[in-house]
Chain A
Amino acid sequence: MRRSTNSPESTLDPIAQRELEAIEATLSGADVSPDLVDIAEFSEAIREIRPCLDDEARRRLDGKAATWATRSASSNPGARLRAWVDAATTYRLAAAAGVATTLLVAVVVGISALGDDETPRPTAEGVVATAVPTGEESASSADATASKESTASEKPAAAAYTADQRASAVFEPDIAAARFRDARNPSAHGAAIPLGPITLPNELLSKARGGVRHQLAPTLEGATGLVDINGARPVVRTFNARTSGNQLGAGRRKLDRDTSLTVSTERNRVRPVADQAVDVVHAHDGQVLSQQYSFDKKLGSSAYFEIEVPATQLDGLVDELSGLGSVESQNETGLDITKEFNTQRAQLADTRAERKVLLERLAEAVDATEIEHLNSLLADARTRIANQRQDFQRVAGRANVSTVSLSIVGHGEGAQGDKKDDGTWGLDDAIDVAGDALRIIGGVLIVAAAILGALGLVGLVIWFAVTSITRQRREQALDQADTHP
């Protein structure tokens, strides 16, 4: 509270300073200069009218003092708490409140963090699903959509999701089967809505984790991208129109379908399951384009296949491959190539018709120059027919043949690939757990510090305001003391 150490000499004139010194000397019992005797006597007179306690009042005060001591010595916990609060300084109260708040925040954040850790979280930006119309009424608009949207760039986008999400997206065959049936029966959901590619942002994924099963289904079923929420363990799943070409009318609809499937099995059964997968592919008239088998001491073993199969066999093949183990993820993309197919076919038919007309004209031609000209046109038509036939066959091949990417991983190597498979718990696991614990604790402390800082700031402002107002009112009370004697 000391505001300044300035001495009186700095602001008083010499006479006043001498008088003050004389007052001080008088009050301390010292002699003063003869010319200042009057002020010394005056000071002495003031001191002599000092109000004094009489014996009775002194005893009363001492009695009250004894009460405080008795209260202090009380062993009553309530009294001790009251005494502690009474004696508590602002700093002590702030520290206690801070500790309590920190503990509270730490508990809440810790519980939240533990809860979040138990929930699988997709790491990709979102889920990309290519929409494919499923109803006849939407064919024209679907053609327009397909012609504009079904570009080669979309398939890598879907494939990218597949690769990124494979570890976290979990596929449940029974629910998927129901979805597939729905997709095959468009009337069950009314007319399908033709939509272009859909990006499902993480905000919606967060909502999907809200615990309501099929919360986003109405939105996504129309686009044939499905998100299911399966109770306490949300399952995020995406795949495109599960509509095979033959079931949608092979004469009208042509789909280019790709499927990726990840199946887990026991660690020591990866190889036998891979062999079974090859047999299943052959049984469905498919062929294995490439296969890869890898083994890592830490990560375990895995197998990867690129498979081609007739489009009509795709569903059966996927069903059987899914039965080889536990399905970890499944992603399907379907690209409508009907317009491209029809265009290629029409161009080929037109060129063939043109060739037929030319042949007819050639049979009737007699002039050598005309014959030569017609032969030239026929050669050109044959070249175009050859090229168009190749293009058409390529499109037809895409519609008739589907590709399947199959991954077989050892049991538990998906999301927990860094853990040992033999069930033992070693130093690496301990370090991992310790790291996780430190990360959570650090996060909790940061959040707690942020909240505590904000609360402390607010408390400080309130404390300053209350203190200032109280001080101001006290000073006003002193100034007005004579008006309220």
Chain B
Amino acid sequence: MEGTIEAPPQAARVKAAAPTEAAFEALYRTSRDDVFAYLAGLLRDRSAAEEITAQAFERAWRKRASFDAGRGNRRAWLFGIARNAALDELRRRSRQAEMVAEPNDEFAADPASAADGIELRLALKTAIGGLEPRQRELIALKFFAGLGNGEIAEVLGVSESNVGTRIHRTITKLRRSCNEA
């Protein structure tokens, strides 16, 4: 996932700093796109996802010293921070309630896709957009961000078996929606 990622301009300085900062830079490089994908799937808004991705990494940067390897892996810790940032954004939206329509809905029907004949993808986007937020979040964590079930369990604060059950239930629902479409 990191092949095309450009290093930050201050990367050299960050690398020369403490190991924690170097490790954080590595985490940034390997997780940036995954975090964005997760947040875009959750928020259904690319521009907001980009903004929240930046916020999430900044929060993580500030709290990088608080990471405890004994309490979980680094990616789960990062996605937990990203999730909180996203939920704060959702809270802010609910307070302001200013968005009547979502201009950049990630899962809105894409005529271009339809023109390409990729019916399954179109149906999938529509089906995902119709999922409940928690199910959509699960899809985003599993298929967009590429987290394992254990990592998802850490992020959501549930058991790993519960994650598996939820994923299967959500996939079943998605398949049914796509078949009906």
Cβ contacts under 8 Å, B154 to chain A: 1-2
Cβ contacts under 8 Å, B106 to chain A: 51
Which of A54-62, A132-140, A199-207, A275-283 forms contacts with chain B? A54-62
Q: CB < 8 Å: which of A5, A39, A73, A86 contacts B62?
A: A86
Say yes or no for A152: interface residue by CB 8 A criterion. no
Cβ contacts under 8 Å, B143 to chain A: 27, 43, 46-47, 50
Q: Distance (Å) between the CB of A206 and the closest chain B CB?
A: 49
Interface string of B3-33 (1 = CB under 8 A from A): 0111111110110010001000000100011
Is A87 in contact with B134, judged by CB distance below 8 angstroms? Answer: no
Identify the closest chain A residue to B87 (Cβ). A474
Q: Bound state CA distance, A454 and B171, in angstroms?
A: 51
Q: Bound state CA distance, A482 and B72, in angstroms?
A: 31
Cβ contacts under 8 Å, A11 to chain B: 161-162, 164-165
Is B168 in contact with A61, judged by CB distance below 8 angstroms? Answer: no
Q: Bound state CA distance, A89 and B71, in angstroms?
A: 14
Identify the closest chain A residue to B155 (Cβ). A1
Q: Distance (Å) between the CB of A177 and the closest chain B CB?
A: 73
Cβ contacts under 8 Å, A164 to chain B: none
Is A3 in contact with B159, judged by CB distance below 8 angstroms? Answer: yes
Q: Distance (Å) between the CB of B64 and the closest chain A CB?
A: 7
Say yes or no for A19: interface residue by CB 8 A criterion. yes
Q: Is the interface of B mostly helix, strand, loop or mixed?
A: helix
Q: Bound state CA distance, A482 and B106, in angstroms?
A: 14
Q: Distance (Å) between the CB of A139 and the closest chain B CB?
A: 85
Is B160 in contact with A4, judged by CB distance below 8 angstroms? Answer: yes
Identify the closest chain A residue to B154 (Cβ). A1
Identify the closest chain A residue to B80 (Cβ). A1
Q: CB < 8 Å: which of A20, A87, A88 contacts B168?
A: A20
- Chain A residues 422-478 with CB under 8 Å of chain B are 473-475, 477-478
Cβ contacts under 8 Å, B72 to chain A: 1-2
- Chain B residues 154-181 with CB under 8 Å of chain A are 154-155, 157-165, 167-168, 171, 174-175, 178
Place the interface of chain B in its size category.
35 or more
Q: CB < 8 Å: which of A53, A478, A483 contacts B36?
A: A53
Identify the closest chain A residue to B54 (Cβ). A64
Is B62 in contact with A50, judged by CB distance below 8 angstroms? Answer: no
Cβ contacts under 8 Å, A87 to chain B: 62-66
Cβ contacts under 8 Å, A482 to chain B: 132-133
Given A8-B164, A16-B168, A89-B66, CB of A49 within 8 Å of CB of B87: no
Cβ contacts under 8 Å, A76 to chain B: none
Q: Distance (Å) between the CB of B80 and the closest chain A CB?
A: 7
Cβ contacts under 8 Å, A292 to chain B: none
Interface string of A57-74 (1 = CB under 8 A from B): 111111111101110110
Cβ contacts under 8 Å, A88 to chain B: 66
Given A63-B9, A478-B90, CB of A4 within 8 Å of CB of B120: no
Cβ contacts under 8 Å, A70 to chain B: 10
Is A62 in contact with B7, judged by CB distance below 8 angstroms? Answer: yes
- Chain A residues 52-106 with CB under 8 Å of chain B are 52-53, 55, 57-66, 68-70, 72-73, 83, 86-89, 92
Say yes or no for B97: interface residue by CB 8 A criterion. yes
Say yes or no for A369: interface residue by CB 8 A criterion. no
- Chain B residues 31-78 with CB under 8 Å of chain A are 32-33, 36-37, 40-41, 44, 46, 49-50, 53-54, 57-58, 61-66, 71-72, 76
Cβ contacts under 8 Å, B62 to chain A: 83, 86-87
Say yes or no for A153: interface residue by CB 8 A criterion. no
Q: Bound state CA distance, A188 and B39, in angstroms?
A: 92
Cβ contacts under 8 Å, B134 to chain A: 478-479
Cβ contacts under 8 Å, A42 to chain B: 171, 174-175, 178
Q: Bound state CA distance, A3 and B157, in angstroms?
A: 6
Q: Bound state CA distance, A69 and B80, in angstroms?
A: 22
- The interface centre, meaning the residue of A5, A8, A87 with most chain B CB atoms within 10 A of its CB, is A8
Is B159 in contact with A6, judged by CB distance below 8 angstroms? Answer: yes
Cβ contacts under 8 Å, B115 to chain A: none
Is B66 in contact with A7, judged by CB distance below 8 angstroms? Answer: no
Given A6-B159, A8-B161, A485-B101, CB of A477 within 8 Å of CB of B87: yes
Is A63 in contact with B8, judged by CB distance below 8 angstroms? Answer: yes
Q: Distance (Å) between the CB of B168 and the closest chain A CB?
A: 5
Q: CB < 8 Å: which of B63, B105, B162 contacts A89?
A: B63
Is A6 in contact with B161, judged by CB distance below 8 angstroms? Answer: yes
Given A27-B143, A475-B87, CB of A52 within 8 Å of CB of B14: no
Say yes or no for A290: interface residue by CB 8 A criterion. no
Cβ contacts under 8 Å, B8 to chain A: 62-63, 65-66, 69
Cβ contacts under 8 Å, B124 to chain A: 45-46, 49
Say yes or no for B102: interface residue by CB 8 A criterion. yes
Identify the closest chain B residue to A7 (Cβ). B161
Identify the closest chain A residue to B121 (Cβ). A49
Is A481 in contact with B90, judged by CB distance below 8 angstroms? Answer: yes
Q: CB < 8 Å: which of B9, B10, B139, B164 contacts A46?
A: B139
Interface string of A336-373 (1 = CB under 8 A from B): 00000000000000000000000000000000000000
B residues whose Cβ falls under 8 Å from a Cβ of A: 4-11, 13-14, 17, 21, 28, 32-33, 36-37, 40-41, 44, 46, 49-50, 53-54, 57-58, 61-66, 71-72, 76, 80, 84, 87-88, 90-91, 93-94, 97, 99, 101-102, 105-106, 120-121, 124-125, 128, 132-134, 137, 139, 142-144, 146, 149-150, 153-155, 157-165, 167-168, 171, 174-175, 178
A-B contact pairs, 28 of them (CB 8 A): A2-B71, A4-B153, A5-B160, A6-B160, A8-B164, A10-B161, A23-B142, A50-B37, A50-B41, A51-B49, A57-B36, A61-B36, A62-B5, A63-B8, A64-B54, A68-B58, A69-B11, A69-B21, A72-B21, A87-B66, A478-B133, A478-B134, A480-B94, A481-B94, A482-B133, A484-B94, A484-B97, A485-B102
Given contacts A65-B57, A485-B105, 5 further A-B contacts (CB under 8 A): A4-B160, A42-B171, A53-B36, A89-B65, A481-B133
